[in-house]
Amino acid sequence: MPPYTVLVVDDSIFMRKLISDIISENPLYQVIATAKNGREAVEKTITHKPDVITMDVEMPEMDGLQALKIIMKENPTPVIMLSNLTKAGANETIQALEWGAIDFVKKPSGSISLDLHKVKSLLFEKLEIAVSSKVSKNTSLTGAIQRNASYIKRTPAFGFNHIVAVGTSTGGPRALQQLLSGIPEAFPAPIVIVQHMPPNFTKSLAQRLDTISNINVVEAEDGLPLEASTAYLAPGGFHMRVYKDGTKNYCLRTSKEDPRSGHRPSVDILFESLVPFTELKRHVILMTGMGSDGAKGMLALKNAGAMSTIAESEETCVVFGMPRAAIELQCVKYILPQQKIAEQLVLEVMK
């Protein structure tokens, strides 16, 4: 099989060479062209039809976000964003993932940088995911509501007898936007979520999801009590569990234990924490993502009497890994396209 072709986009000639040299070390990939700004990236995507694009954000003439938006609308192509680990960089990265970017890696800081080896390893991992992923045209999400600053959401309630647990990875930010924008304001259950994502990015993702959701969306904190009409996103770099405190309230516990199957946070750890709570009607969802994290946890919850188990169907997954693993374990009640999951969940919880 011929090597996969890559378009490298960055306004720095040094960074274009550095990224190109890294990619060229792997015989599976060939840098077919480079571009110094978003306008060139759009043009060269049409001309060269690369298998994957690495995209910087801040560039002259047209930045990476605008270029991504055009590419995903007119010539859908797997895109890996090169992100700075700053608050602004995190916000831009979350927006890029919503607009269809496959994933992101930390932008290397130089050829002698101490983090270069780690960046190289992650880049090859993301390239492998990208060339096997499925992308589609970026269209606005039906039902998504952009809230203004004056909008006050419904006050959550502590009392509930349903709980929803969600796991997702590659392609997850956009999938979560689709899911949460379809949940009504009076949803009578908390939603606990693990999205595979490093520290510094989950807070930006939670804030972004909160602006398009009828319910509250927050980054989880240790000891935080669960409330209905609220979604809790596991913080990057921390496992998250549900437990009961001394007053019998359901709360969240976060921890820095070793990764499970390479992940922290781990979907399996979240799902398994719900197994003892048979008094709750539990609803479990696995959406797009590489690997099998969450499948064993879903099986354990099904065997413990979970009310509903839902997996995203292959047709809408960016990567059909985690849902496939659950389906193969025969623990999935509903296999649904992304845009139908919220509707089914509302029926299950509010019927």
- Which of the residues are catalytic? 169, 196, 293
Name residue 53's beta-bridge partners. 7, 79
Distances (CA, A) of 64 to 54, 91, 127, 171, 172: 10, 13, 18, 18, 20
Region of residue 112 (left: phi > 0; alpha: psi -120 to 50; beta: else) = alpha
Integer Cα distance of 333 and 345 in angstroms: 12
In degrees, to the nearest 5, what angle opens at C-alpha 173 toward C-alphas 167 and 177?
95
Burial class for 7, CB neighbours closer than 10 Å (0-12, 13-18, 19+) = buried
Burial class for 283, CB neighbours closer than 10 Å (0-12, 13-18, 19+) = buried
Integer Cα distance of 55 and 126 in angstroms: 13
Integer Cα distance of 122 and 120 in angstroms: 5
3-state helix, strand, coil in the chain (%, to 5): 35, 20, 45
CB 345 within 8 A of CB 164: yes
Packing angle, helices 87-98 and 172-180, rounded to 10 = 70
Integer Cα distance of 107 and 19 in angstroms: 9
Residues whose CB is less than 8 angstroms from the CB of residue 351 and which lie 6 or more positions away in sequence, other chains included: none
